[in-house]
Structure 1
Amino acid sequence: MSAPRLHCLMVLSSAVEGVSAQSYIQAYTLASSNFSIQLASPHGKNVEYVQQDDNNRRWFNEFRSKASSNPIAFETVDSARYSALLIPSSPGAVHDLASNTELSQIVNHFIREKKPICAIGSGVAALCCVMSPDGKSWGFKTYSMTGPSVFELARTQEFSSLPVIVEDFIKDHGGQYNNSEMDAVHVIIDRHLITGQNAHSTLMAVQNLTLMCAQNKHAVSGSRDMR
């Protein structure tokens, strides 16, 4: 009898700027082969998948016909049920995730329990929500991580109006930021946190999430066997 699957919470932006279609497809397809996936968004609102083309549009048409494509609200999430947290590249994250208090509670649970967290590209902005009540301390200070560089963001039309610049936020709040050249596949792992610089880093980041969870599961099983 096969072991039960681990549960992964996939956090999505419901802002009009949406979620990267390609990053989402890659993240969901790879993660769903290893986890039971639950989608979640602010207030359970529908998600806009942006930058679709003819090929992935067909994929989304089929995907949206499934009940599992409907996200639940952050406030209904029981964080203890999930072994991993996954945030695909989401241009909308800076608008509705970066300061979301319900998401902050979820991410804080994963930090306290040292559960694997994987954030990719513009989705890394979602991690900005984990601030102390007085707004002075960030939950990921001292962590090494990556995310979209200023140069990558500067190519976008909305750059001048972005409420959060991920690279600057990380540096200003005690994190250690590192990036590679623009559009390069670049992933950083620090403790239980996995971050990818951009949407191109999706597969590499999610592969590492899968490996980290498998390692943790093996370690737990091993400790039980020794009792």
Structure 2
Amino acid sequence: MASERLPSRPACLLVASGAAEGVSAQSFLHCFTLASAAFNLQVATPGGKTMDFVDVNESNTRWVQDFRLKAYASPAKLESIDGARYHALLIPSCPGALVDLASSGSLARILQHFHSESKPICAVGHGVAALCCATTEDRSWVFQGYSVTGPSVYELVRAPGFAHLPLVVEDFVKDAGACFSGSEEAPSRCRHLQMSWVFPKTLPRDTRPAWPLVELLGGFEDPS
């Protein structure tokens, strides 16, 4: 699925979960609306599965209904995505990320490409779990040494189903040699991987088309 394409715009890949646990409607709304204002936006899910939106409320239900009627409402298959075609990667808050994205070999391949090319990656809220798939053959994490912000164990333990989570992102990140901050204690802007950037100090010239994503989402605090 892609938003309306303009040839002069850079391309952004928005990866979402296709699991039954779903995608935060409010987070997806903000990510899709803001990013599509500056990018040719492509949405992809594992297997091209339709997204199940959760946390739908009075403020976003009309948008969700209208979105589902659009001609581009069917996500592309994540397995067919070539990361080299995109300047930036965006992952909204997805409770389902732990189920499918955190173990996705296809997403791991894309993340490894983005990391090697120093392209910006932004994961929001529960979407940070998707980054856990990016391990190498020796099981080391490609984002070792980065600073990651996401839902803390304290936040997760208050939610139903905590005991059945396939992994706890905070534990994974710390065990992998990265730093973790709970979203409740995080600043509104994070240097790297609530808003979580994988972002080098100095961007190569060929990644500059992605800068609008930084400006659009840099001050956005996930409402989910």
Q: Give TM-score scaled by structure 1 length.
A: 0.81
Structure 2 partner of 1:149: 152
1:1-227 alignment, distance < 5 Å: 4-135=8-139, 137-179=140-182, 181=184, 186-190=188-192, 195=193, 197=194, 201=195, 216-217=207-208
State the percentage of identical aligned residues: 48
Q: 1:155 to 1:71 in 2, by over 3 A?
A: same
For residues 19 and 148 of structure 1, what CA distance do their matches in structure 2 show?
Answer: 15
Query: Which consecutive residues of structure 2, in runs of 5 or more, have no partner in the other structure?
Result: 1-5, 212-224
Say which one has the larger Rg. Answer: 1
Which amino acid is the alignment partner of residue 7 of structure 1?
A: A
Conserved 8 A contact 2:151-2:183: no
Deviation at 1:189, TM superposition (A): 1.4
Conserved 8 A contact 2:14-2:90: yes
Which amino acid is the alignment partner of residue 67 of structure 2?
A: F
For residues 116 and 187 of structure 1, what CA distance do their matches in structure 2 show?
Answer: 14
Which amino acid is the alignment partner of residue 114 of structure 1?
A: S
Query: Which consecutive residues of structure 1, in runs of 5 or more, have no partner in the other structure?
Result: 221-227
Deviation at 1:133, TM superposition (A): 2.0
Higher helix share: 1
Deviation at 1:58, TM superposition (A): 1.0
Q: Give TM-score scaled by structure 2 length.
A: 0.82
Conserved 8 A contact 1:97-1:125: yes
Deviation at 1:54, TM superposition (A): 2.7
Look up the SS of the partner of 1:123 in the other structure.
helix
Let me know the Cα RMSD of the aligned residues: 2.6
How many aligned positions are there?
A: 202
Deviation at 1:144, TM superposition (A): 1.0
Look up the SS of the partner of 2:170 in the other structure.
helix
For residues 184 and 35 of structure 2, what CA distance do their matches in structure 1 show?
Answer: 27
Q: 1:63 to 1:160 in 2, by over 3 A?
A: same
